[in-house]
Amino acid sequence: MNISFSADLPDTGFILIPVLKDHLDSKILKDVDARTDGAVMRAARVAEFTGKPGEALTVPAPQGLADAIIVLLGLGDASDLTAKDAHGLGGKAAAQVIGKTTTAALLIDGLEIGGLKGEALAVAAGTGALLRNYDFDLYRKKTAKKDKKVLSSFAIIGSGLEKASEKMDAEKAVVEGVFFARDLVTEPPNVLHPESYAERCRELEKLGVKVTILDEADMAKLGMNTLLGVGQGSTKGSRLAVMEWKGGGDEAPLAFIGKGVTFDTGGISLKPGDGMWDMKFDMGGSAAVVGAMMALAGRKAKANVVGLVGLVENMPDGDAQRPADVVTSMSGQTVEVLNTDAEGRLVLADVLTYAQKFHKPRAMVDLATLTGAIIISLAHEYGGLFTKDDAFAESLLSSAKTAGEELWRMPLGKAHDEMIKSDIADMKNIGGREGGSSSAAAFLARFVEDDIPWAHLDIAGTAWATKDADVWPKGATGYGVRLLDQFVRDGYEG
């Protein structure tokens, strides 16, 4: 979709006007109302439109703009709005017209949302509109396509937006990364399995990313047995994809690490059949990493970043890992596997070790759809943030807020580490139902060297949505891509 910026009010098509609660005297609304000889305000009075959040009023073909359709969008109280709502504005506007038209215009002149106004608001709204305009329709062949149109052009109208197009280019690269992540998560597991996923990662080479793929033989030589153990019941070979973007000179890289379980049956600890189809998105953490690497390369980020994703399929089979097996990780630590459905942490353990041994990162962030417990704690509103480093936590929380992909810090302490003590090995892979997300994070912490800033993001509740939201249609959200990109912008670009 093309995003354009202009100071001129169009006189045809859909014209979307955001309205703060009880602010029907805004300059935007007054200007349009004057063009329509008062028709817009008359309609607002008749409909008792006040600008409450989620409220919308359509005024078709008013006098003076007879070839236009005016849509008033209620935003709610200005004091309640954040930077997330600035992105949401563009998404809300796009959602109003998707399926009705292929072009639309959004008026923002004089508007401020979450401290953003002018060019900053215009770019945020444009980004939100792009994000909401996603559609995955690859597998509808003989049946009718979805009964909707996607937008082809979206104009943002306001004064002082001359440089907005220039700034929008970087955001478009980030959106491409989000869309790539969404595509990966949405693909069916018979199409996207570890072997084919690894080849999809190679698509980043055209952007200047160095991509290295390790197969099972390569990983076996390195002793990556916790990762390999998860995939040993599958006919699809496990893979490790390493993506390097070097835009920052000789400095040590920042490492992003993702769980890529392309389908999770639970293995021998088999999940219930009802709802198991959702487990194609158990690779959402890896998709966020791959999408972020695409975004960083696409906008030519001035930073060194390495993305590493462990790709496995967790299947029950005569060769599958058993509950009570003990495996030796790449770090040399041993793990008693009591539940084969707690597999993501086993994958990440070896990838964390690999990242530290071969890339000597200045800091690490891992992302994973790791536990159902995080959904019980945070629902689908936040990703869970686990780290022992307060400063690192604050920097991630700040970037997440700016990006509109928010995190909530969760506890990670000595008590959670005690939960994973094993009677016969260095640790066990589950700590019980209580504090399950924290004990999972404590497991990962055992594979991180003490002097490296590290954080674990549990995104089980945010990688997939069962209903539409401001900046995504229901389905894969691509959560994590914008967060990671913002984190690089805030602290790692020269």
What residues are labeled active site?
A: 271, 345
* Bridge partners, 101 (sequence order): 98
Residue 166 assigned ligand-binding role:
no
Residue 221 assigned ligand-binding role:
no
- Burial of 130 per CB tally in 10 Å (0-12, 13-18, 19+): buried
Inter-residue contact 315 to 399 (CB < 8 Å): no
DSSP letter string, 335-390: EEES-TT--HHHHHHHHHHHHHHHH--SEEEEEE---THHHHHHTTT-EEEE-S-H
Straight-line distance from the first to the last Cα atom of the chain, in angstroms, rounded to the nearest whole number: 31
Residue 481, SS3?
helix
DSSP letter string, 67-119: EEEEEEEEEE-GGG--HHHHHHHHHHHHHHHBTTBSEEEEE-TT-EETTEEHH
Residues in contact with 414: Cβ distance below 8 Å, sequence separation at least 6, in sequence order: none
- Burial of 78 per CB tally in 10 Å (0-12, 13-18, 19+): middle
Residue 343 assigned ligand-binding role:
yes
**Tokens coding 456:** 């674990």
CA–CA separation, 277 vs 285, rounded Å? 18
- Burial of 272 per CB tally in 10 Å (0-12, 13-18, 19+): exposed
CA–CA separation, 383 vs 483, rounded Å? 11
One-letter amino acid at 39 equals: A
One-letter amino acid at 379 equals: A
**Tokens coding 420:** 């994973």
Residue 418 assigned ligand-binding role:
no
Helix (H) or strand (E) run with residue 403 in it = helix 390-403
- Burial of 115 per CB tally in 10 Å (0-12, 13-18, 19+): exposed
Nearest to 351 by CA among 481, 454, 488: 454
Residues in the chain: 494
Residue 11 assigned ligand-binding role:
no
Query: What letter does residue 151 receive in the DSSP assignment?
Result: P
Residue 456: phi and psi, rounded to 5, are -115, 130
**Tokens coding 55:** 């409220």
Q: Categorise residue 295: left if φ over 0, alpha if ψ from -120 to 50, beta otherwise.
A: alpha
Binding residues for Mn(2+): 259, 264, 282, 341, 343
